[in-house]
A and B are shown apart, each in its own frame.
Chain A
Amino acid sequence: MKLTNATLILLLTFLLAPTQLLASEQQALRDVEIGHQPEEIKRGALVALNLCVLCHSLKYVKYHNLQEIGFLPNEIEPFLRGREMSQGILSSTTHESANDLFGMVPPDLSLMAKARQNGPRYIYSLLLAYHEQENSAIENTLFPDVKMPDVLGYSVEEDETMRLEMEQMALDVSAFLAWAADPRAEERRSMGKYVIAYLVILTLMLYLVKRKTWARLG
């Protein structure tokens, strides 16, 4: 009984730890499941390389890393624009012209999915949070001061099929950025299963040894 208590307290302490996470304001994020499938990530990568990279960099993701999500070298080549496979993905807009355009350099996206609470869902929601106001100005309701324009054109699109397609694009990009921020997540989780299985068996055996040893005391 004492033992379960100890374990419980240890668990509770760990669970209490992230109260600071709960504390951060709960924004109205769209309720969506971000995929982990290679094809979703690859589709998202294509959207990112064709669209996001016009302004944003992904400097910690190197071009050759794209092979990990199913790109062939000749598929990557068109995006290199004179850079090496071993270099990070840089934006096609220079810092100066970005500064002229937006008054700031658009943030690097490599870690964006980890730099926000519920990052992937945040990115998905942000991309679809553009709405046309009465004065026909377009505003982002999730992040009103965002400098980024409505790149997908979601706010003005009326055709339902096109809207669904845009939602799919936003979903794919979020899946890609989630991978970009944590490319070892899949490896980590699959290794974790073996580690936990091993530890459970080991602990069980240690428990039996402990019981047997203590039984000598009567």
Chain B
Amino acid sequence: MSKIIQWIDQRFPLTTFVKHDLGEYPTPRNLSYWWNFGFLAGFVLVVQIISGIFLAMHYKADAGLAFDSVDHIMREVNYGWLIRYLHSTGASAFFAVIYIHMARTLYYGSYRAPRELMWWTGQVLLLMLMATAFMGYLLPWGQMSYWGAQVITSLFRATPFIGDEIVIWLRGDFAVGDATLTRFYALHYLFPFLIFGMVMIHLIALHYVKSSNPSGINLAAKDNIPFHPYFTVKDLYGLGLFLIIYCLFVFFSPELFIEPENNIPANPMQTPPHIVPEWYFLPFYAILRSVPDLLGGVLAMGTSVIIFAAMPYLDRSKIPGGARYRPIYRIMFYLFIIDVAVLTYLGAQPPTELLTVVGQVATFIYFAAFVSLPFVSKAEEKWLRRRGLPPAIEELIRCEAQERSAKSGK
């Protein structure tokens, strides 16, 4: 056995890789359980790919057969109901985990130098995940699948000059139909593997810059511990907790994530009374609806997703630790979370005059949080320094400076 490994090691850095990136990989010892969610996201990706491949063995991507084939999976395929519910609940779990992962990054300021590329590759992953989820949602070919795709693809009509052509090009037809279903299916199968590749890039960047940690500074070597066994076991324990919650939904309430309307086969002649996207798109959908103009709405919605990428530049404070040592930023963080919750609620409501106004206010607050951040963060830093930083933070800043000079000295 050792001979085989030796043979491989002369040609491929197997042992070095395992040692460097899995075993001894230095990890800050002060990571809280909030740092489990990246691993959980990777786990859910694998669950989605495996359950998806098994679904693909029985699913028929044909407008005339799709709905029936899903029902066939649910009733006749051995444990088909389990595979499908793992996949449909997995989509929600994926977004839940990713949103928490992002919220952690925002709270602790983990997007700051030198981790901008981690944040941006993560941003690309979010966009890819959204595209994959949107296309996958068409596949059961229920009423909500159909009309959701119809509404979202028609948003591209807002493109200046060539709007109508773009919509037809996307759908492959004048309306969502068989051509749309087959291309969404092909891409829904492709994207997870692109996501997988992007995750690799995300991880290579991670292993280069190393994990951030709640203190917000790069810790001295003595404060790092090897990934194995400490974080392997901690991640596995977190995975256990996640699986309990996930399986409670899969086995006891799987239909919670499937709109009743989607148990009716797609009918191009009949619009459902109330079209709602899945819960994970609701805040962005609410922003779209808050802008009276179509092009404006689409731009606002697009911006609301990608504006996160600007965070490393919007946040001008040099105080480490994100919200932990910055009271104003902390208040902004929680207000933002509440605002997103309000938008989520509004996105699910049929529009009324009052709710539209509330939606516009919430949309304004959403963007105001980002736009005001450069000024607020700068002012906050000044205020904190004038007041005198707590000795704990002074110590952190000093430690980091020391660490940096020690490194450059080498």
Interface residues of A (CB under 8 A from B): 2-3, 5-7, 9-11, 13-14, 16-24, 60, 65, 107, 110-111, 114-117, 119, 181-184, 188-189, 191-192, 195-196, 199-200, 202-203, 206-207, 209-210, 213-214, 217
Whether the Cβ atoms of A196 and B248 lie closer than 8 Å is yes
Beyond the given A23-B345, A199-B240, could you list 14 further A-B residue pairs with CB under 8 A, ordered by the A residue number? A9-B100, A13-B96, A13-B100, A14-B96, A20-B348, A23-B349, A111-B263, A114-B263, A115-B263, A188-B251, A191-B82, A196-B251, A203-B237, A207-B237
For the complex, what is the distance from the CA of A9 to the CA of B93, rounded to whole Å? 12
For the complex, what is the distance from the CA of A213 to the CA of B71, rounded to whole Å? 47
Whether the Cβ atoms of B233 and A209 lie closer than 8 Å is yes
Q: List 24 A-B contacts (CB under 8 A).
A: A3-B33, A6-B34, A7-B245, A10-B96, A13-B99, A16-B341, A17-B96, A17-B279, A19-B344, A19-B348, A20-B279, A110-B71, A183-B75, A184-B81, A189-B252, A196-B247, A199-B243, A203-B240, A203-B243, A206-B233, A206-B236, A207-B237, A210-B237, A214-B230
Whether the Cβ atoms of A210 and B263 lie closer than 8 Å is no
Whether the Cβ atoms of B34 and A2 lie closer than 8 Å is yes
For the complex, what is the distance from the CA of A114 to the CA of B71, rounded to whole Å? 12
Whether the Cβ atoms of B237 and A19 lie closer than 8 Å is no
Whether the Cβ atoms of B237 and A206 lie closer than 8 Å is yes
B75 to chain A: which residues have CB within 8 Å? Answer: 60, 65, 183-184
B99 to chain A: which residues have CB within 8 Å? Answer: 13
A7 to chain B: which residues have CB within 8 Å? Answer: 241, 245
Does B244 sit within 8 A of A, measured CB to CB? yes
Whether the Cβ atoms of B245 and A23 lie closer than 8 Å is no
Whether the Cβ atoms of B243 and A210 lie closer than 8 Å is no
Whether the Cβ atoms of A2 and B230 lie closer than 8 Å is no
B36 to chain A: which residues have CB within 8 Å? Answer: 6
For the complex, what is the distance from the CA of A3 to the CA of B259, rounded to whole Å? 32
A199 to chain B: which residues have CB within 8 Å? Answer: 240, 243-244, 247
Whether the Cβ atoms of B244 and A196 lie closer than 8 Å is yes
Whether the Cβ atoms of B255 and A114 lie closer than 8 Å is yes
For the complex, what is the distance from the CA of A6 to the CA of B100, rounded to whole Å? 9
Q: Smallest Cβ distance from B338 to chain A, in angstroms?
A: 12
Q: Smallest Cβ distance from A21 to chain B, in angstroms?
A: 7
Given contacts A2-B33, A188-B82, contact A213 B263 (CB under 8 A): no
Which 4 A-B residue pairs are closest in the complex by CB-CB distance?
Answer: A192-B251, A203-B240, A20-B348, A115-B263
A119 to chain B: which residues have CB within 8 Å? Answer: 260
A18 to chain B: which residues have CB within 8 Å? Answer: 256-257, 279
Whether the Cβ atoms of B244 and A17 lie closer than 8 Å is no
Given contacts A14-B245, A206-B236, A217-B29, contact A60 B71 (CB under 8 A): yes
Q: When the two chains form the complex, which single residue of A17, A117, A202 contacts B260, counting CB atoms closer than 8 Å?
A: A117
A184 to chain B: which residues have CB within 8 Å? Answer: 74-75, 81
Does B398 sit within 8 A of A, measured CB to CB? no
Q: When the two chains form the complex, which single residue of B74, B97, B341, B348 contacts A23, counting CB atoms closer than 8 Å?
A: B348
For the complex, what is the distance from the CA of A24 to the CA of B350, rounded to whole Å? 9
For the complex, what is the distance from the CA of A188 to the CA of B32, rounded to whole Å? 35
